[in-house]
A and B are shown apart, each in its own frame.
Chain A
Amino acid sequence: MQDTSIFTGGFAEPVLQGQAVFRAVMDCMANPGRIKDTDGTPSAPGGVPSAMAALALTLVDHDTPVALGKSLRASAFPAWLAFQTGAPMADTAFDAAFAFFTRADGFPGFEGFPIGSDEYPDRSVTLIVEVEALEGGPEMAARGPGIRESAVIAPKGLPADFLARWRENGALFPRGIDLVLVESTRLLCLPRTTRLQAREV
């Protein structure tokens, strides 16, 4: 018996909704730390939050191999993704243009994903990761392009060694991965240029 959940949960208005979600993610990528809401209508199986489903519908297609976390791989999400977007599964994480991780998957390490080359730093993965919450966690000061002076972000549910790993990622510049954190219908972007520091309390 086929799982019919894969046929539903896409955009009702793909053109306009895709545009609106893209503007939200473009705005967040250009202003790291800013939190934006999506309209919340997309839904996908596998415990995928709506914002993650919306980003998948907006950004991936047959040109972008996708890697998934363990629990997502075991769910109906790959079938939903294939039906809704036509995106192929990446053979290995290193072939992925986008990678999706829910909280059930846990936070991915940054190892194993493409970071681009010095000649083509754009050929790197964009990680889309669900966190417990985008606010209310330990505060971090963010600096870098897109940020006037500094901004404070406080995502909840990041691993303890996140800051060290993020610093390593930043040191690779211009190579490196870009990160989109999602919670329910909302998202926050951390491009590779953003420098993070724990805030003293």
Chain B
Amino acid sequence: MSGLATYNFAYLDEQTKRMIRRAILKAIAIPGYQVPFASREMPMPYGWGTGGVQVTAAILGPTDVLKVIDQGADDTTNAVSIRAFFQKVANVEVTTRTKDATIIQTRHRIPEEKLTEGQVLVYQVPIPEPLRFLEPRETETRKMHALSEYGLMHVKLYEDIARNGHIATTYAYPVKVEGRYVMDPSPTPKFDNPKMHMSEALQLFGAGREKRIYALPPFTDVVSLDFDDHPFTVQSFEKPCALCGAEGVYLDEVVLDDRGGRMFVCSDTDYCEDRRAQGFLGDQGVPLKEAAE
């Protein structure tokens, strides 16, 4: 007996998939605009990436190769369980290697390796509305998007500067898409924002609890909001990755002991492993072979 017998392929029923697929097509046609959709109950709680899971389920086919990451890592709880979910309900091939994947579902990171044409990046989005914490009323934020009235967002960034001397927003940093819609890139570090601009891959965003889908087609203009005298910059790190020595990548802090010991390592585990396999070594790294023994 196949373990798939009691589910439709990829869990969702066909009518739900059609509804999500129609929303995806409109989202692609209106880059950055949040298309409402009839988000379903999934066999996991809201907050677990149900939006991304529904988008992935609606586009996934038997020939796809799926990669799932959580904060850049393939081996954390959220990534492992969603990967196992799709193996169970779609029997789909999975991978941890960015370049082998046709669909990458992500929680809050964009892989370090440049995505290529034909790949689809599916984001799990908690709060899709970039204006929500500034204006709680949906009727108002919808009107603001309709009128392209984004002054409030600039005031927010300005207040950052007034209080802190610089724009203190470091994740979910708002972007403007094709000069029209201000969009929440999901809580990715602002380090990843430049990767969204003119990406070769199709980027789809799913928010399950908030019932919104939005998209960036490949080669779409994505600009992080800033001011002439306070231009947008990404985080920089003082030291390279302690394991693989990579520079110019996003690093996670790992606490080593209770005496202040810490190390900074690549957030993208596949990228880090790949580099170590190629022989790159950071100052606290161990060659991959020895580590395996």
A residues in contact (CB < 8 Å) with B: 14-16, 18-20, 22-23, 25-27, 29-31, 58-61, 63-64, 97, 117-122, 124, 126, 145-148, 173-174, 178, 191-193
Contact = CB atoms under 8 A, between A and B. Distances in A.
A147 B219 contact: yes
Contact of B21 (A15, A22, A31, A145): A22
A175 to B, nearest CB: 9
A26 B61 contact: no
Contacts of A61: 15, 18
Interface of B: 8-9, 14-15, 17-19, 21-31, 33, 35-36, 58-62, 142-143, 145-147, 178, 180-181, 202, 215-221
Contact of B202 (A30, A174, A178): A30
A50 B27 CA distance: 26
A15 B180 contact: no
Contacts, number: 107
Given A23-B61, A31-B217, A122 B31 contact: no
Nearest to B61: A19
Nearest to A31: B218
Contacts of B24: 26
7 contacts: A19-B9, A22-B59, A23-B59, A59-B21, A63-B15, A122-B23, A146-B219
B121 to A, nearest CB: 12
B180 A173 contact: yes
Nearest to A124: B26
B178 A59 contact: no
B219 A15 contact: no
Nearest to A22: B21
A146 B21 contact: no
Nearest to A62: B15
Nearest to A25: B25
A145 B215 CA distance: 11
A109 B269 CA distance: 53
A119 B216 CA distance: 19
Given A14-B14, A26-B59, A145-B219, A122 B30 contact: yes
B7 to A, nearest CB: 11
Given A173-B180, A192-B30, A193-B29, A59 B9 contact: no
A59 B15 CA distance: 9
Instruction: Determine which residue in B25, B36, B218 has the highest number of CB atoms from chain A within 10 A of its CB, and name it.
Output: B25
A2 B143 CA distance: 51
B218 to A, nearest CB: 6
Given A15-B8, A119-B146, A145 B25 contact: no
A63 B26 contact: no
Instruction: Determine which residue in B22, B60, B62 has the highest number of CB atoms from chain A within 10 A of its CB, and name it.
Output: B22
Contact of B18 (A16, A58, A119, A178): A58
A29 B61 contact: no
B218 A119 contact: no
B203 to A, nearest CB: 10
A176 to B, nearest CB: 8
B35 A30 contact: no
A146 B198 CA distance: 9
Contacts of A64: 22
Given A14-B14, A59-B22, A64-B22, A178 B61 contact: no
Closest 5 CB pairs of A and B: A191-B29, A118-B146, A146-B217, A122-B26, A145-B220
Given A25-B25, A147-B219, A193 B178 contact: yes
